[in-house]
Amino acid sequence: MDREVLEIVYAANDGYARHLGVSMYSLFDSNREFKWIRVHVLSMGVSKESRSSLRRIAADFDREVSFIEVEDLYSRLGETADTGGYDISIMLRLFMGELLPDDIERIVYLDCDTVVLGSLKRLWCEELGGNVAGAVMEPTIYREVKESIGLEPGEAYYNSGVLMVDLERWREEEIQRKLLELWKEKSGKLFASDQDVLNGVLRGRIHTLMPRYNFFTNYRYFSYATLVQHSPSYRAVSKKQLRLAKRCPVIVHYMGDERPWIRGNLNHYRKAYEYYLAKTPWAGASKEKGKVLYMLAYHLMDYVTAICPVIRWEISHRLGMKLVESRKQ
């Protein structure tokens, strides 16, 4: 593996092309020290116009972006493919071993709703210790979600928004086949679909990355003690590491409802998205309307989290379990 050549993969549809553009621009801008960066986009309908805009961003930095169109995803997943309300394009990442060029030994997967604010040099060189992938823990996931995929309550559960993947090992161990087998076994009735099957199949085979490399913006309001209480495995992350992630995240992940492209959002990290949006061909794009009061309520709940996390947990758990149960129907 050439440490000076960074390999990145995204999965996108045309609805998320603007956010992909923001993420990609931030990636290039924050990683100028790499000799070369290749971006591979697993596409499900990214338009010709959007592709042209994304190529312009890459050209501005003398980088490379390529598109791999996947037209038969439904047939790959089966006629009854059910992603529980998520757009089916989220399942594209499960096929990265098959779709990406054979010469790629290691890859960093990024969700489109991320912004890269620092160098990925250290992440790119991180040893996985024989594991298939590296990821950041999501300790606030519900116990019921863990149980549905065979995890014990105290075991680590990981977010799939940023993945460091040993593609050689992924292919050798036929991870794609195993992921699809579990997904079909569950008939798609999972809380987080692709993320759940990744956790189920790669149980015990995921290297823990520090939260700086996939910082969920709502975690700014959670204390270290609260996160450890929800998941004792989170002790693999130190209090200092969480504090550093809140102050200086390398990759910001706009996970949850408080997205910076929604009108009225008060996301503490929204300026990073807005800064890079202004540099892309989508500069000046209107924000989504109709959620100003909801955004205010969501942000107030962030502060409730900091003051009394039990209230946040009870509300989140009740709403989350309603969603889990609805997806079992």
Q: Per-residue pLDDT for 86 more than 90?
A: no
- Do the domain assignments include residue 92? yes
- Do the domain assignments include residue 315? no
Chain segment 96-112, per-residue pLDDT in tens: 999 999 999 999 999 99
- Do the domain assignments include residue 197? yes
**Residue partners of 235: CB distance under 8 A and separation at least 6:** 228
pTM (2 decimals)? 0.94
Q: Per-residue pLDDT for 189 more than 80?
A: no
Distance of CA 276 to the CA centre of its chain: 18
- Do the domain assignments include residue 313? no
Residue 250 domain boundaries: 5-258+268-283
Q: Per-residue pLDDT for 59 more than 70?
A: yes
- Do the domain assignments include residue 27? yes
Cβ atoms of 5 and 36 closer than 8 Å: yes
- Do the domain assignments include residue 28? yes
CATH number at 32 reads 3.90.550.10
- Do the domain assignments include residue 293? no
Cβ atoms of 138 and 158 closer than 8 Å: yes
Chain segment 108-142, per-residue pLDDT in tens: 999 999 999 999 999 999 999 999 999 999 999 98
- Do the domain assignments include residue 319? no
Chain segment 214-232, per-residue pLDDT in tens: 999 999 999 999 999 999 9
Q: Is the dihedral of CA 187, 188, 190, 193 positive or negative?
A: positive
Structural domains of the chain, count: 1
